[in-house]
Structure 1
Amino acid sequence: MSRQYLAWGSADNAHPVDIFSLAVTQKQVISASGAPSLKVHSTVDADFPLVQSLDGAHALGCHHVVTDVSGTRAVSAGFAGDVKVWSCQDGYWSADATASANLNDLNVWAVALSEDGQYLAGVSQDGHIGVWDLNADGAQIRDHETKGSFGTCIDLSPDGRFIASGHENGAVYIFTTEHARMPFSLSGLVKPVRAVAFSPGGKILAAAGDSKVIVLYDTSSGEQIANLSGHSAWVLSLSWSTTGEYLLSSSFDGKVKVWSIDTKTCVATQSETEKAVWSVKWLPKTARSEAFTTGGANRSVAFYREATGG
C-alpha cells in the first residue's frame, strides 16, 4: 500500500553551504553544515522559524550532529576533528565546556548518543570505536578496534546493548556494549557504507551506502534478512520511524524513500530536489500523521508530512 507525503514547509537557505546533518527533538531541529554555525529551528510553529544560531560552533564546519531522546543534550563533530557537547534548557542550547574540553582531541568522524544522553560513541578515520561517559566529564570507557578502514557512520541501539559501525571498505561491525566484544562482522556491502541505523527495538540493523542497496540484518544472528533496492544513487542517510514500521532513506540524487518493513517495499518517494539529500530524520510523532525533515545540497531544511483524509 503506497503512502503520500506532502511538502509541509521549509527553512530556505538555512545555511550558506550544504547541510550535512540533522538532529531532531520534540520541538526543534538542529542542522549542521560546512559553515561554522549550527542552526536551531522550531518545529512547533508553522513557518519553522530560526530560534537560535550557535555561531562559531565549528571553525571548519560540521558533518555530524546528534541528540538524545529528551532533547537535553546534543553532540556535534566538525571537519577539524573537534567534538562539542551541548546542553539544552528551556529550549536554549549552550556549550558544555567541561565535557567538550575532554573530547577536543578525539578526532572521531561519526558520532552517536545513547537515548538517555549519557554515552557518546564515535568512530575514527582509522576505524577505532570509542565510548565516552558524558556524565563523567567525557571519560573514555571503551575502545574497540576494527580492521582499520575509515569509520564513516555509527549508531547505538535504543536499548544500549549494541554499537554498529560502517566503514569505507564496505565493512559493517556490531559490538556488544556489555562484554565489549564483536560478535558480528557483517557481509553484503562491498562499497563504502554511509549510514547504519538500529530499529527502535534493536532487533534489526539497516545499513546502506554507495552500493545503492539498503541491507537489513538480524542483530541476534548477524544474518541478512532483506535487501531493499530502488535507489539509483548512493544512499546517504537512514532513519527509523518511532514504531519501527517504516524506514526512511535519502540519496545523492535528491530522492527520499519510505520503506515498509512489513512488506520490504518502497511505499513512497519524494523528489523535490535533484541535489544530494545528506540527511533525513523522522520527526517525533505528536499527531496522527507521520512527518519527516530533510537537509542537503540545496541548503534548506524541508519538512514533509503524511497526507491523510482527516
Structure 2
Amino acid sequence: SMAFSPNNRHLAFGSSDKICRLWDTVNGEILLVMEGHTHWVRSVAFAPCGKQIASASDDSTIRLWNSETGECLFVLSGHKDIIWSVAYSADGWRLVSGSRDGTIRVWNPEIGAPKLSGHSNWVTTCTFSPDGLQIASGDVDGIIRLWEVNTNRSSSLRQELAAGVRTVTYSPDGLCIITHHEDKAVQCWESSTGASKSIPLSSARSGHTDWVHSVAYSPCGKWILSGSGDKTARLW
C-alpha cells in the first residue's frame, strides 16, 4: 500500500516485510523506516496535516507514526483479524478501518472506537466522505454500505450478486462514489448525504481486461482515472 503526503513531497509505503517506509519523492531517498508491526502492512494513510501516518496490518493493529521522526505514537487494537483498509477523516480527528473480521471501526479520541457491524464477510475497503458525515465501505461479496457517522446506521447501496469490491472513492464534492471490483468493472454511484440511500448513476463501465487496482478522481471532480493489471490507465 502507498500514500502520498498532502504536499506530495513524501510517499509512505507499507510492505509484506512488516515495515513502513517514507520516501522523498524528489530524490528517491528513504527518509524513515518505521518498524513495529509483526505482520504484513496492508494499508497506509497520511493525516490531512501531513504530520502523522496510519498503518494497518495483518497483525490486527493500526499504528500511528510521527511522519517527521518515525516514532510510533499509538497502537490501536480492537479488530480480530487482518485489517485491509484505513483512512483519515478530512479534519484528521478520526480514523476508519475495515477488517477481515467483517467489521468497521471508527477511531475517535473522544468516544473510543465503536464497532460497526453490517457486512457479512470481509470488509476490503472503507473511506470517509469529504464532509466526514458518511462512510462508504465494500466487501468481498460485492456489497457496498453507506454509514451515517453520527448515528452508526447503515444501508446497503448494492444487494445483487457482484464481484468483490476493491476500492471505494468519493468525488471531491461528496456527491458521487466510485467503486472498482474484482471483475474489472468500474462503477459510479450517487450518494445521498443525510439519507441512507444511493442510486447508480450508470451501469458498470468496462474496458479493462485485467483487475482494476486503483481509481481516483481529479481534484475538479470531472474526471476519473483507473489503473489496471492490463498495463493500461483509462480516463472516464
Q: TM-score range by the shorter chain?
A: 0.7 to 0.9
Counterpart in 2 of 1:204? Answer: 176
Counterpart in 2 of 1:71? Answer: 50
Aligned equivalents of 1:179 and 1:166: distance in 2? 19
Aligned equivalents of 1:201 and 1:208: distance in 2? 19
Counterpart in 1 of 2:38? Answer: 59
Counterpart in 1 of 2:199? Answer: 223
The one-letter amino acid of 2:67's match is: C
Counterpart in 2 of 1:85? Answer: 64
Aligned equivalents of 1:186 and 1:147: distance in 2? 12
**Would you say the 8 A contact 2:130–2:170 is kept in 1?**
yes
Tell me how far 1:187 sits from its aligned partner.
4.3
CA-based RMSD = 2.1
Aligned equivalents of 1:228 and 1:189: distance in 2? 17
**Would you say the 8 A contact 1:189–1:208 is kept in 2?**
no
Q: Deviations over 1:88-110 (max 9, x none)?
A: 34xx44321xx31xx13434331
**Would you say the 8 A contact 1:175–1:184 is kept in 2?**
no
Counterpart in 2 of 1:173? Answer: 145
Counterpart in 2 of 1:35? Answer: 17
Is 1:22 the counterpart of 2:22 in the alignment? no
Aligned equivalents of 1:189 and 1:117: distance in 2? 35
Structure 1 residues 228 and 69: alpha-carbon distance in aligned structure 2, compared to 1, 3 A threshold: farther
Aligned equivalents of 2:47 and 2:169: distance in 1? 15
Tell me how far 1:59 sits from its aligned partner.
3.0
Counterpart in 1 of 2:104? Answer: 129
**Would you say the 8 A contact 2:47–2:54 is kept in 1?**
no
Q: Deviations over 1:191-228 (max 9, x none)?
A: 11111111111100111111211111100151110232
- Structure of higher RCO (CA pairs closer than 8 Å, 6+ residues apart): 1
134, 137, 152: which is aligned to 1:162? Answer: 134
Report percent identity of matched pairs.
Answer: 24
**Would you say the 8 A contact 1:84–1:104 is kept in 2?**
no
Aligned equivalents of 2:3 and 2:47: distance in 1? 13
Is 1:120 the counterpart of 2:95 in the alignment? yes
The one-letter amino acid of 2:191's match is: T
Structure 1 residues 32 and 75: alpha-carbon distance in aligned structure 2, compared to 1, 3 A threshold: same
Q: Deviations over 1:246-302 (max 9, x none)?
A: 22222233333332xxxxxxxxxxxxxxxxxxxxxxxxxxxxxxxxxxxxxxxxxxx
TM-score relative to the length of structure 2: 0.87
Aligned equivalents of 2:107 and 2:170: distance in 1? 20
Aligned equivalents of 1:219 and 1:62: distance in 2? 30
Structure 2 counterpart SS, 1:186: coil
The one-letter amino acid of 1:211's match is: D
